[in-house]
């Protein structure tokens, strides 16, 4: 990777991945692509940014040519819960955007990283120890677009030799940019509410286990996979990766160790609950470990200490 374009650089993953890539590959070599929300702060000041709407192939091609881009991180997406109320937008951004990236990549010789998700599972998938290769018949627009994206990316690799790679991210927990419209967002919101109000209303019921990961592991995964020796990759789109699996009771108990008067009640949101019930409880990520050395570094206790420290500091400074 020499010259990199991030599409969706102001989102939850993009805002942190862009800065990490700039540290590793040089600030001027990493272009922050945005659609409607302008990058700000360090993201804006530390390197070039360009308007790149994933649904506009010409915009992607122009930026790829201008900066001689060799790697595209295609992060534009509508998350699972919002996707259920905006199916056409979810499809147009998820698949229209991916097709545009793949076509530009085919013409200009770029590699393409596109996140898939635990949302690519459902409809008969074994939910415990979910295998790398298994039934994928999701019943959400998000999931349908993620499976389609995996197939399209493999197709462009096999048919045209485009270097496409991808991971199936679990819920990602972070403290820089909030996620929006996802089913796993509760596992981020709970930390903010614990610090700000010492109480949280959980939209998923107790016993709903889901795979999760702290942002530093998610970023390392994307970079390590894109740097992996292609000769070792038997799979490409997409690798199961996970770092931890918990339900609302377990994360609540972990936070309570730090904030003993923190309380949690439940108000189940049916759309999110139905989605969560169709997703793996815990994936088997041994294939990623074998083929490119994936290994998470953060578990629930370490992540919780760090999340509460960082969010607590922001709260004390009046930033949230």
Q: Where do contacts with ligand AKB occur on this chain (CB under 6 A)?
A: 79-80, 117-119, 142, 169, 171, 179, 182-184
Burial label, 195 (beta-carbon count in 10 A; 0-12, 13-18, 19+): buried
Using the minimum distance from each CB to ligand AKB, give the nearer residue, 57 or 274: 274
CB of 108 to ligand AKB, least distance (A): 28
Residues across the chain? 320
CB of 3 to ligand AKB, least distance (A): 28
Q: Is residue 203 within 8 Å of 171, Cβ to Cβ?
A: no
Q: Which two tokens mark 8?
A: 């969706």
- The Cα 255–Cα 304 span in angstroms is 7
Using the minimum distance from each CB to ligand AKB, give the nearer residue, 34 or 169: 169
Three-state SS at 39: coil
Tell me, yes or no, if 142 is annotated catalytic.
yes
Using the minimum distance from each CB to ligand AKB, give the nearer residue, 64 or 275: 275
Using the minimum distance from each CB to ligand AKB, give the nearer residue, 47 or 138: 138
CB of 221 to ligand AKB, least distance (A): 14
**Residue facing ligand AKB at closest CB distance:** 182
CB of 48 to ligand AKB, least distance (A): 28
Catalytic residue among 25, 34, 67, 142: 142
Comparing C-alpha atoms, which of 273, 290, 312 is closest to residue 239? 290
Contacts of 51 (CB under 8 A, 6+ apart): 33, 34, 35, 59
DSSP-assigned letter for residue 232: G
Catalytic residues: 142
């Amino acid at each position: 990777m020499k010259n990199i374009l991030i599409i969706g650089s102001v989102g939850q993953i993009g805002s942190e991945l862009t800065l990490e890539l700039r540290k590793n590959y040089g600030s001027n070599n990493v272009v922050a692509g945005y659609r409607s929300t302008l990058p700000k702060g360090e993201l804006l000041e530390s390197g070039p940014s360009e308007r790149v709407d994933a649904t506009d192939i010409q915009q992607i091609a122009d930026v790829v040519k201008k900066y001689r881009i060799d790697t595209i991180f295609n992060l534009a997406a509508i998350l699972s819960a919002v996707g259920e109320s905006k199916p056409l937008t979810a499809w147009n951004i998820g698949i229209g955007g991916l097709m545009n990236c793949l076509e530009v990549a085919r013409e200009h010789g770029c590699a393409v990283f596109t996140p898939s998700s635990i949302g690519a599972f459902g409809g008969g998938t074994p939910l415990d120890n979910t295998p790398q290769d298994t039934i994928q018949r999701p019943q959400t627009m998000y999931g349908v677009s993620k499976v389609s994206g995996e197939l399209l990316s493999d197709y462009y690799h096999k048919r045209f030799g485009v270097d496409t790679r991808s991971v199936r991210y679990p819920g990602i927990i972070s403290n820089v940019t909030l996620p929006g419209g996802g089913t796993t967002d509760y596992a981020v919101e709970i930390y903010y509410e614990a610090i700000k109000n010492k109480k949280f209303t959980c939209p998923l019921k107790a016993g709903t286990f889901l795979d999760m990961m702290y942002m530093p592991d998610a970023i390392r995964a994307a970079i390590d996979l894109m740097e992996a020796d292609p000769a070792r990759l038997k799979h490409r789109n997409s690798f199961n990766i996970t770092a931890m699996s918990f339900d609302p009771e377990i994360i609540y108990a972990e936070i309570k160790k730090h904030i003993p008067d923190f309380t949690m009640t439940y108000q189940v949101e049916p759309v999110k609950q139905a989605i969560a019930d169709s997703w793996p409880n815990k994936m088997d990520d041994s294939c990623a470990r074998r083929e490119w050395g994936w290994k998470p570094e953060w578990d629930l206790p370490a992540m919780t200490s760090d999340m509460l420290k960082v969010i607590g500091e922001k709260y004390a400074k009046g930033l949230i």
